[in-house]
Amino acid sequence: MKYSYLGKSGLKVSQLCLGTMNFGPETEEKEAFKIMDAALDAGINFFDTANVYGGQERRGWTEEIIGRWFQQGGGRREKVVLATKVYNDMFDENDGPNSGAGLSGYKIRRHFEASLKRLQTDHIELYQMHHIDRNVSWDELWGAFEILVQQGKADYIGSSNFAGWHIATAQAEAKARHFLGLVSEQHLYNLLQRTPELEVLPAAKELGMGVIPWSPLAGGLLGRNALAGTGVRSSRSANLEKNRSQLEQFSALCKELGDHEDQVALAWVLANPAVTAPIIGPRTMQQFEDSLRVTEIVLDEATLKKLDEIFPGPGRPAPEAYAW
């Protein structure tokens, strides 16, 4: 496994990040334990989760599974760079009128402590805002996160699903407070969704942030079984016919290369210099093992050009992509 610094921080993380969203709802606990053990054995030290993971009726379930895995000992907790998130409604009746999605200082404090309890740990390496909250000032946000860092409960702060201008504002406000600010942005990015190349990726790279792409396989549309109609998330199935021509061309190219579609799609994301580590979200041990080949794949210029032809991106960052 290869490692990279997480943005401008001195923290080294594996170039594949283990996503745990499936643990609980789709992957039973015993299998999840095996996958996490296998990840450590493969050199993956970067694990991503969120307080909301676990399904509509059991939010927090995934963090609980990870917490029980940590409690097995054997250095599991010490070996993991743990990332979790805050923003969504946890349906906690104790939140009262402060329930719902958001990032108030009150909510950050309460939900951070709840994550620690579920994860059975006393600190979190990377605490991420799951979405922007336009109702909260940066004075309130940075004030809340500074306290967590000063107390030694969180090492770094990250964002997720931020626009480029959100990132720029966050970093400017942090600098004014003499605070490190954001070290990473977790963002939707894949061959079928290249809009982040306009603003988000350039902003993150310029401001010293690592990019952690989520859904690098577009919900299974870029997986090896997509054209057969299997392995695609129900929320993305409507896009299968819409993108069938592209996916057929992509499949043919992958056969020429001798690698599976999911491996090539992940390798393409990882080849972007702005990217630190794409998130892999295996449901099974087989899916996890299939992902490990990605760090060994090197896509040459001819292949990258062909992928650009199949899945055209904006071509350049903003404003050059659309203005003279």
The alpha carbon of residue 11 and the mean position of all alpha carbons in its chain are separated, in whole angstroms, by 16
Report the C-alpha gap between 271 and 141 in whole angstroms. 33
Q: Are the beta carbons of 159 and 186 closer than 8 angstroms?
A: yes
Three-state SS for 83?
strand
Q: In whole angstroms, how far apart are CA 221 and each of 102, 162, 169, 192, 268?
A: 31, 24, 34, 9, 15
Q: Is 53 a catalytic residue?
A: yes
Q: Which sign does the torsion angle of CA 40, 46, 51, 53 carry?
A: negative
Q: Are the beta carbons of 49 and 84 closer than 8 angstroms?
A: yes
- Marked catalytic residue, from 5, 53, 87, 156: 53
Report the C-alpha gap between 176 and 206 in whole angstroms. 18
Report the C-alpha gap between 123 and 127 in whole angstroms. 10
* Pairs from 37-44 (Cβ < 8 Å, separation ≥ 24): 38/285, 38/288, 38/289, 39/288, 40/76, 40/79, 40/80, 42/1, 42/292, 43/1, 43/14, 44/1, 44/14, 44/16, 44/17, 44/18
Prior bond to 25 cis, omega within 30?
no
Which tokens is 3 given? Answer: 């490692």
Instruction: Please identify every residue annotated as catalytic.
Output: 53
